[in-house]
Amino acid sequence: MNSRELLDSRRQLLKSAGSLAASLVALPYAGLARAQAVELETVRLADGLVAVIGPNANVVAADSTDGIIMVDGGHASWSGALLRTIDDNFPGRPVSALFNTHWHTEQTGSNLALGERGARIIAHENTSLWLGTEVWVRWSDIRYPPLPEIARPVTTFLDSGSILLGDREVGYGYMRNAHTDGDVCVLFPRENVLVTGGVVSNDGWPVIDWWTGGWLGGMLDGFDSLLALADENTRIVPGNGPVMSLAELRSQHEMYLTIFDRLQTMLRQSFGTEEVLAAAPTAEYDAAWGDPEQFLTLAFESLWGHLRDAHDTRLRNIA
Ligand SMILES: [Zn+2]
């Protein structure tokens, strides 16, 4: 086999690895089955900057002198439609950079296609680590294969900062242990657009992926970081659902503070998950946000590694 054939077979392998990854990806979250029929809504946020509202994740695309900068790439099942939509909005412009706000498949579905085209993939170091290994998420019992090397981040960071991409200074903020352990928001200061990543969900209850490092208290800290970055004029693009205002972000923050307070009280009273669900600590919000069972289960169980219940045997033994 000559080097050309070797290269071709490697590309074939990468392609099959990619399609295998796509076909193995079950949608882990209740309510996401609607991803079957792809409807992508494009919202123009400023000159040369659009949000694409997808079925289970949002994407932002901004023009620069280097090419298009994307924040997240949707799920592999609708990556093709997404990339066509981006091209419709910015005809003939290549995608030069792609931020992954965290490792979930709803954000990283265009990594392979864009990595193969030479886009620079940028993410928190923890996101890069998850993408480089098989992830067996215990609470969903779903295994996610690693992405091929060409689909993984090449520029990683450990803390907040900013990066010059073409003529654009783009800010990124690390939100530690929130939705996962690699969440970042991305800020386009010139247009005052803030992309929250998975920490904010605006079309239903969020997922708190405690297996890869998320927890409800960290999500509240994430809200604090986002609120500090936004002002009355900021257009806030959440991980899912419609574009938000600062007032809407504040109102969600209040809601999660209330829920956090109730859940930590229940933990200290030694409630089990079933008792939490029976106590309906989200009752007044459920009409707007839907069935809370998955959210409450994950949110409550996410407390276990961070807060101690009054009857914790380890504490009793120490005392
Ligand atoms: Zn996510």
Kindly list the domain boundaries of the chain, sorted by start residue: 3-318
CA 102 – ligand 1 centroid, Å: 7
Identify the three-state secondary structure at position 205. coil
CA 63 – ligand 1 centroid, Å: 25
DSSP class per residue in 247-280: HHHHHHHHHHHHHHHHHHHHHHTT--HHHHHHH-
CA 95 – ligand 1 centroid, Å: 22
CA 218 – ligand 1 centroid, Å: 14
CA 62 – ligand 1 centroid, Å: 22
CA 106 – ligand 1 centroid, Å: 7
Identify the three-state secondary structure at position 153. coil
Tens-digit pLDDT profile for residues 161-211: 999 999 999 999 999 999 999 999 999 999 999 999 999 999 999 999 999
What is the C-alpha separation between 102 and 185, in angstroms, rounded?
Answer: 9
CA 286 – ligand 1 centroid, Å: 21
Closest C-alpha among 126, 135, 88, 86 to residue 110: 86
Tens-digit pLDDT profile for residues 93-146: 999 999 999 999 999 999 999 999 999 999 999 999 999 999 999 999 999 999
Percent of the chain exceeding pLDDT 70 equals 85
Distances in whole angstroms, Cα of residue 39 to Cα of each of 79, 197, 302:
12, 20, 33
In the prediction, which pLDDT does 304 show?
93
Average pLDDT value for residue range 251-262: 98
In the prediction, which pLDDT does 198 show?
98
Tens-digit pLDDT profile for residues 1-38: 334 433 344 344 334 333 333 333 334 444 444 445 68
Amino acid at 73: G
In the prediction, which pLDDT does 292 show?
98
Inform me whether the pLDDT recorded for 241 exceeds 50. Answer: yes
CA 140 – ligand 1 centroid, Å: 13
Tens-digit pLDDT profile for residues 281-298: 999 999 999 999 999 999
Average pLDDT value for residue range 254-275: 96
What is the C-alpha separation between 246 and 90, in angstroms, rounded?
Answer: 28
In the prediction, which pLDDT does 149 show?
98
CA 250 – ligand 1 centroid, Å: 21
CA 299 – ligand 1 centroid, Å: 14
CA 165 – ligand 1 centroid, Å: 25
CA 207 – ligand 1 centroid, Å: 7
Tens-digit pLDDT profile for residues 78-108: 999 999 999 999 999 999 999 999 999 999 9
Pairing mode, if any, of strands 168-175 and 142-144?
A: unpaired
Average pLDDT value for residue range 44-51: 98
CA 240 – ligand 1 centroid, Å: 9
Q: Give the dihedral sign, CA 35/41/46/47.
A: positive
In the prediction, which pLDDT does 1 show?
37
Inform me whether the pLDDT recorded for 148 exceeds 90. Answer: yes
Residue written as tokens 């839907």?
290
CA 239 – ligand 1 centroid, Å: 8
- Measure the CA angle with vertex 198, ends 96 and 189; round to 5°: 55
Inform me whether the pLDDT recorded for 316 exceeds 60. Answer: no
CA 67 – ligand 1 centroid, Å: 26
In the prediction, which pLDDT does 38 show?
86
CATH fold, domain 3-318, is Metallo-beta-lactamase; Chain A (3.60.15)
CA 167 – ligand 1 centroid, Å: 29
CA 164 – ligand 1 centroid, Å: 26
CA 232 – ligand 1 centroid, Å: 26
CA 147 – ligand 1 centroid, Å: 16
In the prediction, which pLDDT does 308 show?
73
In the prediction, which pLDDT does 164 show?
98
CA 313 – ligand 1 centroid, Å: 33
